[in-house]
């Protein structure tokens, strides 16, 4: 096989599935900047009183249409699970342990650490680095979910004819958008039409996600009073990075800062992705993460 010489050679595609739409962003990297090869949002009709995870066939069909309509290569695809479907826990393992030994230790401790039966457990881990107070140990972040939940995402990709290479936690993926010097006293607020999600994490990598739905689309980014009260009740950090489907002006961000009593700033986009709007944020972040891997 001689390799690929088409426009999507060396590309990666990120996918986000929301109720009634799938979002697709295909990127490649050139001269340290990302280049958008395709961005698409394909609608679908979800039966009332159900979600795409309960009846995934509609989302899979929409993905297939999006890839065929826009000529996107179905290889090298990443998707995400919501952080409230995944448990992330920090652990410590011996410094000299190899990958197989780390996995064996984590599996042995799984029943104590995780509320999942072992026969319905999907687990992955990432070595964070040496422990600051135990020189013979390393810190490891464990991510686990129900195997049935992961299998559902894999099934959607398979039925859409896609080659799924990665499944990320949405909150962890979004942390890559924060400036390098950003502390753990930060959070991301994502406003997407009628949906609001607050993403938080701690220095050791533990992430949290809360979601709310408004009765009306928030086209100006103005939050309903009940959402403001819910956000404040979570104990917001000093800095809140905001992503909105509508372009929020400095005046609107200032008004939000006063209502929430925190500093609100626009979430920056990686170089080359400034053209992508808020709704495509997660899909573009997943694609960019695949190119960095």
pLDDT grade for 59, boundaries at 50, 70 and 90: very high
pLDDT grade for 148, boundaries at 50, 70 and 90: very high
Give which of 196, 244, 197 is closest to 221, Cα–Cα: 244
Quick one: pLDDT at residue 9?
53
**Tokens read off for 46:** 């979800």
Q: Which residues lie closer than 8 Å to 159 by C-beta, 6 or more apart?
A: 56, 57, 60, 64
Provide the edge-to-edge strand list for the sheet that holds 121-130.
87-94, 137-146, 121-130
What's the rounded Cα separation, in Å, for the pair 51 and 168? 20
**Tokens read off for 75:** 């290889």
What's the rounded Cα separation, in Å, for the pair 275 and 39? 10
pLDDT grade for 51, boundaries at 50, 70 and 90: confident
Give which of 279, 284, 280, 138 is closest to 195, Cα–Cα: 279
The two beta strands, 186-192 and 164-169, are unpaired
Count of other CB atoms within 10 angstroms of residue 70:
14
What's the rounded Cα separation, in Å, for the pair 291 and 11? 7
pLDDT grade for 198, boundaries at 50, 70 and 90: very high
At 34 the three-state DSSP class reads: strand
Start-to-end C-alpha separation, the chain: 23
Query: In this structure, what DSSP letter does residue 64 have?
Result: H
Whether 46 and 52 have beta carbons less than 8 Å apart is answered as: yes
Whether 145 and 81 have beta carbons less than 8 Å apart is answered as: yes
Residue 287 has pLDDT above 90, yes or no: yes
Residue 181 has pLDDT above 80, yes or no: no
What's the rounded Cα separation, in Å, for the pair 187 and 240? 5
Count of other CB atoms within 10 angstroms of residue 263:
16
**Which domains, from first to last, does the chain contain?**
12-82+152-172+274-292 (3.30.420.40), 83-148 (3.30.1490.300), 178-266 (3.30.420.40)
Give which of 32, 13, 207, 27 is closest to 126, Cα–Cα: 207
Task: Taking residues 281-293, report their average pLDDT.
Answer: 88
Query: In this structure, what DSSP letter does residue 166 have?
Result: E
pLDDT grade for 1, boundaries at 50, 70 and 90: very low
pLDDT grade for 57, boundaries at 50, 70 and 90: very high
Whether 122 and 148 have beta carbons less than 8 Å apart is answered as: no
Whether 25 and 13 have beta carbons less than 8 Å apart is answered as: yes
pLDDT grade for 247, boundaries at 50, 70 and 90: confident
Count of other CB atoms within 10 angstroms of residue 171:
26
């Amino acid at each position: 096989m001689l390799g690929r010489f088409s426009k999507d050679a060396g590309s990666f595609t990120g996918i986000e599935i929301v109720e009634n739409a799938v979002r697709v962003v295909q990127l490649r990297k050139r001269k340290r900047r990302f280049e958008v090869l395709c961005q698409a949002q394909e609608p679908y009709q979800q039966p009332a009183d159900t979600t795409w995870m309960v009846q995934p066939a509609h989302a899979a069909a929409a993905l297939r249409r999006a890839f065929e309509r826009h000529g996107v290569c179905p290889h090298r695809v990443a998707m995400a699970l919501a952080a409230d479907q995944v448990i992330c826990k920090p652990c410590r393992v011996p410094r000299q342990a190899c990958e197989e030994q780390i996995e064996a230790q984590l599996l042995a401790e799984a029943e104590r650490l995780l509320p999942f039966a072992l026969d319905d457990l999907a687990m992955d881990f990432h070595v964070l680095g040496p422990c600051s107070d135990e020189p013979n140990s390393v810190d490891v972040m464990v991510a686990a979910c129900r195997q049935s939940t992961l299998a559902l995402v894999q099934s959607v990709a398979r039925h859409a004819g896609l080659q799924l290479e990665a499944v990320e936690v949405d909150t962890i993926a979004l942390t890559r958008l924060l400036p390098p010097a950003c502390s753990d006293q930060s959070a991301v607020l994502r406003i997407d039409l009628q949906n609001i999600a607050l993403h938080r994490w701690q220095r050791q990598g533990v992430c949290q996600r809360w979601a709310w739905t408004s009765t009306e689309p928030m086209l100006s980014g103005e939050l309903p009073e009940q959402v403001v009260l819910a956000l404040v009740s979570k104990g917001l950090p000093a800095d809140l990075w905001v992503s909105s489907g509508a372009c929020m002006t400095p005046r609107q961000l200032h008004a939000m800062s006063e209502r929430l009593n925190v500093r609100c700033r626009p979430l920056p986009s990686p170089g080359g992705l400034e053209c992508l709007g808020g709704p495509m944020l997660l899909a573009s972040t997943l694609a960019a993460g695949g190119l960095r891997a």
